[in-house]
Structure 1
Amino acid sequence: MCRHLAYVGPPVSLRALLYDPPHSLVRQSWAPRDMRGGGTVNADGFGVGWYPPGGGEPLRYRRGTPIWGDVTLPELAAATISGAVLAAVRSASVGMPVLDTAAAPFAEGPWLFSHNGVVRGWPDAVAVLAGRLPVRDLLTLDAPTDAALLWALVRHRLRAGDDPARAVADTVTRVAAAAPGSRLNLLLTDGRTVVASVAGHALSLRRTPGAVLLASEPHDDEPGWETVPEGRLVVATTAGARVDALAVDRPAGGETTE
């Protein structure tokens, strides 16, 4: 299991998202409130990706060590300002390696991606799905982990022209069918839109004027947090957040939070 967050809105420091809140992502790495399916701490790596002011592809900082022990990140976080951020702390599933490259966010072009959960029956349960990917994609996975494969599956849909919501929803439904009992909370962003799935784990949403924050756990006890129900797909921008049923062919409209 892991903890992750995604933010789009007015530029803020990385410190304001990672360190300053009373139940910040850093605190969640060693004192999570809602770890489901095993694990007690998120000590197997971390990563943060952010979009530079003025546009361009995202930058990343990833390590395979606990976030609380990193001596570089606090200064980097205090000095870095961005209007779009995706960050995660990792609790590796048994048997999966602890490497810098195994930590989210995964990236290609404008995209950042993270997975909170586990693929049950790994790797046999998803061998058929993996076999449908181009061989080069399998040979160049960031790490031999379920999260890296999920990213490869989502990325393959994006490259084929799927919109990001469909790419996430299709991947979640296919993997859930192949590997029942999996926990598949995904986050995907291009710096303007955030897509999130709620499938087996918790996710909270907070809307403030011109901004949206999606997080595994609320980072404070202030009002305004909304618990996103199980089996939902969230599509969020600075203009609003739509919460739909998690299905490949989703009905038009959906529940909108203002």
Structure 2
Amino acid sequence: MCRHLAYLGPAVPLGRLLTDPVHGLLRQSWAPRMQRYGTVNADGFGVGWYAPGDPVPGRYRRAAPVWGDLSFVDLARVVRSEAVLAAVRDATLPGADGEAAAAPFADGTWLFSHNGAVRGWPESAVPLASDLPPAELLRLAARTDSAFVWALVLRRLRAGEDPGTALAEPVRELAAAAPGSRLNLLLTDGRTVAATAWGDSLWYLSDPQAGRTVVASEPYDDDPRWAEVPDRTLLTASRTSVLLTPLKEPAP
């Protein structure tokens, strides 16, 4: 269910990360190597990036498969950024809200993506929905589990919680309410990255000397420096460091 990637480092063309690599997100949209659930990520895609001097990212999203968007290939060739979050989508349920359902979701400086599925959606999420003010439910970007997960994370970010906690706590709450959910979350503000490995693959490539960190559902090339993140783990990273913290299972 979906593939995603976040990058922090020296400015590079988007294509260097997404379309040029032999196993980049473009190819992962039809031939992922490590996807455990689903086979084709053809229900939309998106990329968000940060321009110099502007903390609010721009986004390009579409409901169609990325391989059919020739404009995106051209865009990725010329747009450069020091911070990127991108995703290709395999929908939990078909037909929900088109482009609005494609990651990355955004608010202010934040970009967010969810790789996975909330088991039993939407009924299983009802207990957590009661924790959100009605206005926030009405403002959901789409009628999808990913948009709902983003609302839970965003509520905590707005309350001042650090990015790691803002991801880890909703994961535990959702895992308790809907056991068996797959909750690989990815979040950036252009300066740091936070991610969870919960039910699906997650990898990172760290190059402190170059000031470069990549976090992705799966490696886009065969660089031996890629390292797999253990399941039930929170990853927090900057351009020069990566920290892995085990996540506790929710109480029965």
Q: Say whether the fold is shared (TM-score over 0.5).
A: yes
- Give the unaligned 5+ runs of structure 2: none
Does 2:33 correspond to 1:33? Answer: yes
CA offset digits 1:39-84 (Å, max 9, x no partner): 1100000000000112320000000000000121111111111000
Tell me which residue corresponds to 2:169: 170
Tell me which residue corresponds to 2:3: 3
Aligned residues: 247
Identical-residue share of aligned pairs (%): 57
What secondary structure does 1:141 align onto? coil
Tell me which residue corresponds to 1:245: 246
Please state how far the C-alpha of 1:132 moved relative to its aligned partner. Answer: 1.1
The 5 A counterparts of 1:63-212 are 63-95=62-94, 97=96, 99-208=98-207, 209-212=210-213
CA offset digits 1:159-187 (Å, max 9, x no partner): 11111110000010000010000000000
- Alpha-carbon contact 1:45-1:63 (below 8 Å) kept: yes
CA offset digits 1:204-252 (Å, max 9, x no partner): 110122010001010011210001111110000012000011249xxxx
Tell me which residue corresponds to 1:253: none
Tell me which residue corresponds to 2:232: 231
Tell me, in whole angstroms, the C-alpha distance in 1 between the residues paired with 2:126 and 2:94: 17
CA offset digits 1:6-27 (Å, max 9, x no partner): 0001111101011111101100
Tell me, in whole angstroms, the C-alpha distance in 2 between the residues paired with 1:140 and 1:152: 9
- Normalised by the size of structure 1, how large is the TM-score? 0.93
Please state how far the C-alpha of 1:158 moved relative to its aligned partner. Answer: 0.6
- Alpha-carbon contact 2:45-2:102 (below 8 Å) kept: yes
What secondary structure does 1:53 align onto? coil
- Alpha-carbon contact 2:105-2:111 (below 8 Å) kept: yes
Taking a change above 3 Å as real, the CA distance of residues 131 and 148 of structure 1, as seen in their structure-2 partners, is same
Tell me, in whole angstroms, the C-alpha distance in 1 between the residues paired with 2:70 and 2:138: 33
- Alpha-carbon contact 1:44-1:98 (below 8 Å) kept: no
Tell me, in whole angstroms, the C-alpha distance in 2 between the residues paired with 1:72 and 1:131: 41
Tell me, in whole angstroms, the C-alpha distance in 1 between the residues paired with 2:237 and 2:248: 17
Letter in 1 for 2:99: D
Does 2:218 correspond to 1:217? Answer: yes
- Alpha-carbon contact 1:204-1:225 (below 8 Å) kept: yes
Tell me, in whole angstroms, the C-alpha distance in 2 between the residues paired with 1:187 and 1:56: 18
Tell me which residue corresponds to 1:256: none
Larger mean CA deviation between 97-106 and 177-186 belongs to: 97-106
Tell me, in whole angstroms, the C-alpha distance in 1 between the residues paired with 2:194 and 2:248: 13
Tell me, in whole angstroms, the C-alpha distance in 2 between the residues paired with 1:85 and 1:71: 20
Tell me, in whole angstroms, the C-alpha distance in 1 between the residues paired with 2:48 and 2:109: 11
Tell me which residue corresponds to 2:47: 48
- Give the unaligned 5+ runs of structure 1: 249-258
Tell me which residue corresponds to 2:23: 23
Tell me, in whole angstroms, the C-alpha distance in 2 between the residues paired with 1:184 and 1:88: 15
Letter in 2 for 1:232: T
Please state how far the C-alpha of 1:98 moved relative to its aligned partner. Answer: 5.3
- Normalised by the size of structure 2, how large is the TM-score? 0.96
Tell me, in whole angstroms, the C-alpha distance in 2 between the residues paired with 1:104 and 1:129: 22
CA offset digits 1:136-171 (Å, max 9, x no partner): 111111110000000000000011111111000001
Please state how far the C-alpha of 1:117 moved relative to its aligned partner. Answer: 0.3
Letter in 2 for 1:64: A
Larger mean CA deviation between 127-136 and 193-202 belongs to: 127-136
Tell me, in whole angstroms, the C-alpha distance in 2 between the residues paired with 1:191 and 1:56: 7
- Alpha-carbon contact 1:196-1:234 (below 8 Å) kept: yes
Please state how far the C-alpha of 1:36 moved relative to its aligned partner. Answer: 1.7
Letter in 2 for 1:150: V
Tell me, in whole angstroms, the C-alpha distance in 2 between the residues paired with 1:45 and 1:100: 7
